[in-house]
Amino acid sequence: MSESRKSQAGLQGKIIEFLWWMKKQGYKETTIKGKGKRLMRLLRLGANLLDPESVKEVLAKQNWKDSTKETTAFIYDTFARWIGVTWEKPRYRAVRKFPFIPHEREIDDLIAGCNKLVAIFLQIIKETGARAGEVFNLKWIDLDFECGTLRITPEKGSNPRIFKISRKLTGMLEAFPKEGERIFSHYKNLRSLMSTFERNRKRIARKVGNPRLPKIFFM
C-alpha cells in the first residue's frame, strides 16, 4: 500500500473513531451520518484532516455556496477540537433569506395530488407543524381515534405534544391499512418517503402550472 493510501486509510479510521465518540455522547443518528458524510467528502477532495490549513485550502477551491462552506467548516471545527487541533475558522457567511411560505391552497394541491400515504404525511404536517422526522416516526398507538388526537414524540430538544386533528385527517388514517407498528412503515426511511414526495411534487407542479410548488419542503 502506498503512503498516500495509508494516510487516507488512517484518516478514515479517525473519522470512524470520531463518529463513534459522537454516538457515545448521545448525538442523533442523522447528525452523526451528516457529519461523517461531510468529513469523508473533504477527505476525498484531498484534505488532510489533521492539517487545518489543508482543509481551508480545499474549502477555498470548491465552487460551493457560502452556506455549504460555512456548514462544512462548522463540522470540521467539531472534529478539530476532538483531535486537539486548534485553527482559525474561515469566515464564510451564508446569505440569510426570508423563508418561502406557501399558500394553504398550494399545500392542499400537493395533498390532493400525492399518493395516499404521502398525502397523510403532508396533512399531519399541515395540521400539527411537527418536524418531518417526528411525523415519520409516528406509531399507530400514537393515534386516539375516539378522541381525535395525535401524540407527537419530540426530537431535537422539542417537547412532547398532543394535537386535536381534523375529521378529514382522521378519515384518511382510518381508511389506510394498518400494516406494521409505524404509520409510515411502508417506507424504509424518511429519505425514501421524501424522494416519493419530491417526484409527486414535480409532477403536480407541471400539471397545475405552478412554479412555486417545487419550493415547498419540510424539515
Query: What structural domains and CATH numbers belong to the chain?
Result: 3-83 (no CATH), 104-215 (1.10.443.10)
pLDDT at position 193 is 94
pLDDT at position 42 is 95
- Half-sphere exposure of 124 toward its Cβ, with a 13 Å CA cutoff? 29
Q: Where are the beta strands (DSSP E) in the chain?
A: 143-144, 149-152, 161-164
pLDDT at position 99 is 77
The DSSP call for residue 130 is -
pLDDT at position 38 is 94
pLDDT at position 29 is 85
- DSSP assignment string, 150-205: EEEPP-TT---EEEE--HHHHHHHHHS---SSBTTTTSSSHHHHHHHHHHHHHHHH
Q: Which amino acid is at 72?
A: T
Residue 128 neighbours by CB distance under 10 Å? 19
pLDDT at position 159 is 80
Q: What is the pLDDT along the chain (219 residues), one digit of tens a residue?
A: 455 566 777 889 999 999 999 999 998 888 899 999 999 999 999 999 999 999 999 999 999 999 899 999 999 999 999 999 999 999 888 777 777 788 999 999 999 999 999 999 999 999 999 999 999 999 999 999 999 999 999 876 668 899 999 999 999 999 998 888 999 999 989 989 999 999 999 999 999 999 999 998 877
Q: How confident is the prediction for the chain on average, in pLDDT?
A: 90
pLDDT at position 3 is 56
Q: Which amino acid is at 13?
A: G
User: Cα–Cα distance between 106 and 125 in angstroms, integer?
Assistant: 14
Angle between helices 52-61 and 29-44 (to 10 degrees): 80
User: Cα–Cα distance between 81 and 89 in angstroms, integer?
Assistant: 12
Q: Residue 60 — left, alpha, or beta (φ > 0 → left; ψ -120 to 50 → alpha)?
A: alpha
pLDDT at position 94 is 72
Short-list 170, 217, 176, 168, CA closest to 197? 217
User: Cα–Cα distance between 26 and 94 in angstroms, integer?
Assistant: 28
* Contact predicate 131/123, CB 8 Å: no
Distances in Å between the Cα of 183 and the Cα atoms of 52, 126, 134, 142, 180 are 45, 17, 12, 9, 7
